Structure 1
Amino acid sequence: MLAFIRSGLEAEGVAHARHARPLQWEVGDEWHRTARPAMDGLRIAESGVQPLCAPALHAPATACARALNQAVWQEGDGTSLAERLEPFRAEFLAVARRTLS
C-alpha cells in the first residue's frame, strides 16, 4: 500500500509538470524521460495492491491509477488537476484507513 501511495504522489508530480509546460511533448524529451518511469512505477505498485492488500482496496487503487494515468498522458478538460484527482485519492485513502483499523 505504501508503494502505491508513494508512486501515486510521484505520478501526480509528473502530471503537474506536464500541465505546467506546453501541451505538446515528444517521446524522449526531458519530461517524457521522467514520466515514463514514474508511470511504470505506478502500474507496478498498483499490481501489488491486489495480492498484498485487502480486497476492498483493489477498485479504489485501480480508479486512482487510471485517473493519474489520464492526468499525465491526456489533455485536461479545463478543471484543475486537484479537482480531477482528489475524489479518487480520497476514496483510496478512506478505504485504506478502514482496512488498517
Structure 2
Amino acid sequence: MAMEVWASIFSLAGVALGGALTALSQRATQRSAERLEERRQAAATSEARRAEQMQAIKDFIACAQDAERAAYSRPEAWGDDEDWNSTASGVMTRLWIAERHLVLLSDADLHAPVHTFGRALNQAVWRETGDVEVNEHLEEHKIASMAAARASLASP
C-alpha cells in the first residue's frame, strides 16, 4: 500500500510538473509572438513615417519649384501685373505651408536649411536680392536643403 501511495504521489507530481512545463512553454511562445508583433508594428510605423516625410519633402520641392518659376516670371516693372502678384502670393502661401508641414514631420537637422531656402525663394520672388540673379541667389540654399533632406531620409 505504501508503494501505491508513493506511485500516486510520483504520478501526481509528474502531472503537475508536466502541466507547469506546458504552461511555461505556452507563456514563452506567447511572449515571443508579442515581441515579434511589437517589432512588426514598430517597423510598419517607421515605414509609414518615412513615407509621410518623403511626401512632405516632395510637396516642399514642388512648391519651391513653383516659387522659383514665379521669381523668373516676375514682370520688370513693379505693380504692372496684378495677375502675377496674385499668383505669386498664392505660390508663396503654399510654399510656407509646405515648409511648416515638413518641419512638423522631419528631423531638426532639416528645419534650418528648408527655412533658409524658403526665405531665399521669398526674396527672389519679391526681388529683394539686390543685383544678384535669381539662380545665383538660390543655388547655395537649394543645394543645402536638398542635402539636408537626403540626410534626413537616410537616417533611421
Same-fold call, TM cutoff 0.5: yes
- Which structure 2 residues correspond to residues 1-101 of structure 1 after superposition, within 5 A? 1-18=57-74, 21-25=75-79, 29-101=82-154
User: When the two structures are superposed, what TM-score results if normalisation uses the length of structure 1?
Assistant: 0.89
After superposing the two structures, state which structure 1 stretch, 41-50 or 28-37, moved more. 28-37
Which structure shows the bigger proportion of residues in helix conformation?
2
Q: Distance in 2 between matches of 1:55 and 1:76?
A: 27
Bigger CA radius of gyration: 2
Structure 1 runs of 4+ aligned residues shifted over 3 Å read none
Structure number with greater CO (CA < 8 Å, separation at least 6) is 1
Alignment match, 2:22: none
Q: Distance in 1 between matches of 2:85 and 2:132?
A: 23
SS in 1 for 2:69: helix
1:7·1:38 contact (CA, 8 Å) conserved in 2?
Answer: yes
- Give identity over the alignment, percent: 36
1:12-55 CA distance string (max 9 Å, x none): 0000011xx223116x7111121011000001001111111121
Gaps of 5+ in 1: none
Q: Distance in 1 between matches of 2:129 and 2:106?
A: 31
User: When the two structures are superposed, what TM-score results if normalisation uses the length of structure 2?
Assistant: 0.59
Q: Distance in 1 between matches of 2:68 and 2:140?
A: 14
Give the deviation of 1:91 after TM superposition: 0.1
1:23·1:75 contact (CA, 8 Å) conserved in 2?
Answer: no
Q: Distance in 2 between matches of 1:58 and 1:17?
A: 28
Q: Distance in 2 between matches of 1:36 and 1:17?
A: 13
Give the deviation of 1:74 after TM superposition: 3.0
